[in-house]
């Protein structure tokens, strides 16, 4: 099982910790691209128009300025730095020992800066989104596409890929033929009508991620087994319904989680 998450927009900057060690991150073969993107981000963040270049709002100017010190900034486990709605629900920094071991093996965050990190990787807080056209690098989804394919394709073939990413991060890597690829969609049911939701979707994907890590027994290995595992959340009312879409000729199957 490979669970893919997007990074959270909100990040908690560590108050203390060792400086960044790119060579210690998961998938060290991504190191050259990480260095290129990091150098370009530090340079772009020092520009007078950095906020506009990085597509950030004026209220985030302080976070953009902090990018200039990423090489020296304190680091912490990614499970502590990413603190958005999805990560709060997943609770990756508060897992039982067996579940934490499973998360280190099975959970990966696809990142505009690092390409790929595990919950245990030590990173600083940063501001950069995958939709950015970064000076000196270009569109980041395109820059990461081949390196992520080299890092993930062989691992994903024959595996269940539980994809909780948003569209911008999906553009950076798509699982190869041979992976049992499932995209997780969240729907709200109101008066018998179902519609796609956004904010609550992050929370629900986080709940599913935690459930897959802490539940007893073997990890799901197929889309059908994933659906059965998700259906366990019906018992306590977390979900109203779970539906697995038909297998398309190409691309992902869709697992719909229905909430109130």
For the chain, the domains span 2-259
CA dist list (Å): 72 to 16, 32, 69, 114, 121: 11, 18, 6, 16, 16
Output the pLDDT for position 58.
85
Q: What is the mean pLDDT of the chain?
A: 96
Q: What is the pLDDT of residues 95-112, one digit of tens each?
A: 999 999 999 999 999 999
Please state the three-class secondary structure of 6-23 as a single string. CCCCCECCCCCCCCCCHH
Q: Give CA–CA dist 193/27, Å, rounded.
A: 43
Give the pLDDT confidence score for residue 198 in this predicted structure.
Answer: 75
Give 192's pLDDT tier (boundaries 50, 70, 90): confident
Over residues 240-245, the mean pLDDT reads 97
* Encoded tokens for 152: 């993930």
What is the Cα–Cα distance from 143 to 166, expressed in whole angstroms? 17
Q: Is the dihedral of CA 119, 166, 218, 188 positive or negative?
A: positive
Q: Is 115 exposed, middle or buried (0-12, 13-18, 19+ CB in 10 A)?
A: buried
Q: How far apart are CA 244 and CA 256, in angstroms?
A: 6
Please name the helix (run of DSSP H) or strand (run of DSSP E) that holds residue 183, with its range, or none: strand 180-190
Return the ∠ at Cα 130 (arms to 128 and 136), rounded to 5°.
75
């Amino acid at each position: 099982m490979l669970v893919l998450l997007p990074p959270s927009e909100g990040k908690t900057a560590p108050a203390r910790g060792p400086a960044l060690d790119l060579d210690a991150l998961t998938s060290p073969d991504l190191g050259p691209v990480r260095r290129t993107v990091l150098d370009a981000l530090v340079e772009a963040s020092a520009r007078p128009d950095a906020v506009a270049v990085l597509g950030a709002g004026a209220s985030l100017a302080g976070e953009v300025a902090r990018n200039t010190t990423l090489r020296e900034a304190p680091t912490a486990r990614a499970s502590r730095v990413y603190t958005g709605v999805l990560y709060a629900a997943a609770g990756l920094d508060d897992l039982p020992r067996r579940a934490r071991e499973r998360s280190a093996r099975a959970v990966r965050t696809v990142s505009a800066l690092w390409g790929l990190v595990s919950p245990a990787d030590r990173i600083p807080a940063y501001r950069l989104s995958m939709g950015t056209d970064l000076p000196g690098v270009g569109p980041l989804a395109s820059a990461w596409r081949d390196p992520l394919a080299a890092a993930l394709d062989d691992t994903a073939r024959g595996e269940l890929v539980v994809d909780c990413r948003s569209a911008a991060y999906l553009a950076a890597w798509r699982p190869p033929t041979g992976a049992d690829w499932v995209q997780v969609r969240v729907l709200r049911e109101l008066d018998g009508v179902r519609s796609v939701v956004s904010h609550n979707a992050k929370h629900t994907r986080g709940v599913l991620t935690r459930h897959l890590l802490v539940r007893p027994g073997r990890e799901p290995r197929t889309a059908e087994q994933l659906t059965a595992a998700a259906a366990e959340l019906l018992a306590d009312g977390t979900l109203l319904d779970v539906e697995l879409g038909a297998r398309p000729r190409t691309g992902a199957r869709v697992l719909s989680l229905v909430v109130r």
